Amino acid sequence: MRILWFSVTPSLFNPRRNGHNGGGWVASLESIIHEVPDIELGVAFKFSDSHFRYEKEKTIYYPITKGRFGTYKSIIDDFKPDLIQIFGSENDFGTICGEIDIPIVIHIQGCLPPYHNALFPVGMSPIDFIRHKGLGLRQRYVGLRSEAVFRKLAKREIKTIQHCSYFMGRTEWDKGLIDLFNPKAKYFHCEEALRDSFLQGKRHWSWRDDKKKTFISVISRPWYKGCDLILKTANLLHRFTDLDFEWQVYGIPEMCFYESKYGIKANQVNVKAMGTASSEKLVEALCNSSCYVHPSYIDNSPNSVCEAQILGVPVLATHVGGMSSIVHDGDTGLLFPANAPYTLASLLKRVVNDKELAEGLGHRAHQMAQKRHSPQIIRDSIVNIYKEIISK
C-alpha cells in the first residue's frame, strides 16, 4: 500500500521544528507505520524548503513552501498513492477533496465551526486587543481579525467535510460533527499516538505529601485555551484559601494580555508561565505535580490530557468538546463546566487534600490510557482502515 499523508507538521523529517518541541503525535504515528512492512509512506507538510522531494529511511518527504492545489497535485502525481490521509479538516489540504479520483480519508483533529463559537472567553471582545497591554502589533492585529478569519475558515472546513467520504476520529464529539455535516460519510474510530517519552514507562506519578502543591497546565496561545480561567481560579485560591500552591503553565512564555484584561498579576497569585518544554521535561514536571488542569473552552481530545493520564496524574478538565470520551467524570478524572473558576477552585482543594481520590483517579486513568494509546492497537486499527477504504 502506498499511503500519502498531508500534515501541517514535518513529522519525523525534522521533529524539533514545531511547537511540540519533540515531534508531536503525527511523528509518533509515523514511527508506528514504519513497523508495517507492506506500507510505503509519503509525507507532505508545510515547511520552508526549496527542494521538492527527500527520501529518508522508510519515508519520502515533500516540503511545501506555498500551499496551493497545483503543488498538492504535483506531489500526488509524483508519489502515486493508493490512499491519501489528511491530518485535520481545518487546513487547506482539503481543497483536493472532490478534485481527484484517489480515495481520501481525513483524520479529524479539531473542528473550526465549534471553535469559532467558543473563540473568546466570556467578557472578552475584539476591542480588548486595542485597549489592553501585553500584546505586540502583530498579536493585536491577529486578535482583531480572528473572529472574521475563523468564520471564513469554518465555512471552508464544512465544505471540505461535505466533499470527503471517509473520516478517522476518536471521540463521540467529532463523530457527531461528521454525522451533522456529512451523514453519508464513513467514520472510523482510531486513537492517537503519544510521544515516546510518555510511553516508555520510566516515570510514573505518585502521591506527594509536599506542603506546597503544584498544578500543571499545558496550553497554547489561542484565546479559547483558558489562560484567563487559570488566572481567575488561582486568584480565588489565593484570596479565599490557605492553600500553598504554584500553578505552572507550559506552552506560553507570558500572560501579560490576560493580566491587563482581568487585573490579576500572575506572580501575585502563584501562576508561572514556563514557555515551551521538551517532552522529557514535561514528564518530569507532571510526575512531580499534584494534578493536571486542562482549562480550554473547546477541545477534541488534547494529547496533553492523554499524556498526563498515561503517567497516572489525576486530571481536572473542562467538560467541552470530546473531553468526556477521554475523561470519565469521577472515574478517570474530574470534569467541570467551561468558565467555572469557582467550581475548579473547589475541585482543586478537594483533590490535593484527598489522597485516596487523587490516587484512584490517576490509577484508573493510567490503565485506560495504556490500552487507548497502545502502539500495537493503533497500528492494527489504522492498517485495517487503510485496507477497508482501498478495497472499496
Using CA atoms of 355, 356, 359, 362 in order, give the dihedral in degrees to the nearest 10: -120
If you average pLDDT over every residue of the chain, what do you get? 94
**Tens of pLDDT along 280-328?**
999 999 999 999 999 999 999 999 999 999 999 999 999 999 999 999 9
User: Same topology for domains 2-193+374-391 and 199-372, yes or no?
Assistant: yes
Query: What is residue 21's predicted lDDT score, i.e. its pLDDT?
Result: 45
Under a CB-based contact definition with an 8 Å cutoff, are residues 250 and 220 in contact?
A: no
> What is the third-level CATH fold of 199-372?
Rossmann fold (3.40.50)
What is the second-level CATH architecture of the domain 2-193+374-391?
A: 3-Layer(aba) Sandwich (3.40)
DSSP 191: P
Q: Provide the CB-side half-sphere exposure for 45 (13 A, CA).
A: 23
Under a CB-based contact definition with an 8 Å cutoff, are residues 205 and 286 in contact?
A: yes
**Tens of pLDDT along 366-391?**
999 999 999 999 999 999 999 999 99
List the chain domain ranges: 2-193+374-391, 199-372
For the chain, the maximum distance between any two Cα atoms, rounded to a whole number of angstroms, is 64
pLDDT beyond 60 at 100: yes
**Tens of pLDDT along 114-171?**
999 999 998 888 889 888 988 888 888 888 889 999 999 999 999 999 999 999 999 9
**Tens of pLDDT along 349-360?**
999 999 999 999
Give the span between the Cα atoms of 92 and 388, in whole angstroms. Answer: 26
Query: What is residue 123's predicted lDDT score, i.e. its pLDDT?
Result: 87
Global pTM reads 0.93
Q: Which grid coordinates are listed for 77?
A: 502525481
| % of the chain with per-residue pLDDT over 90 | 85
Query: What is residue 16's predicted lDDT score, i.e. its pLDDT?
Result: 52
> Which residue is it, cell 489561542?
222
Q: Which grid coordinates are listed for 153?
A: 475558515
Which of these, 230, 311, 335, 223, lies nearest to 272 by C-alpha position? 230
In this prediction, residue 58 has a pLDDT band, given cuts at 50, 70 and 90, of confident
Query: What is residue 201's predicted lDDT score, i.e. its pLDDT?
Result: 79
Measured between alpha carbons, how far is residue 293 from residues 9, 350, 370 in Å? 26, 13, 20
pLDDT beyond 70 at 37: yes
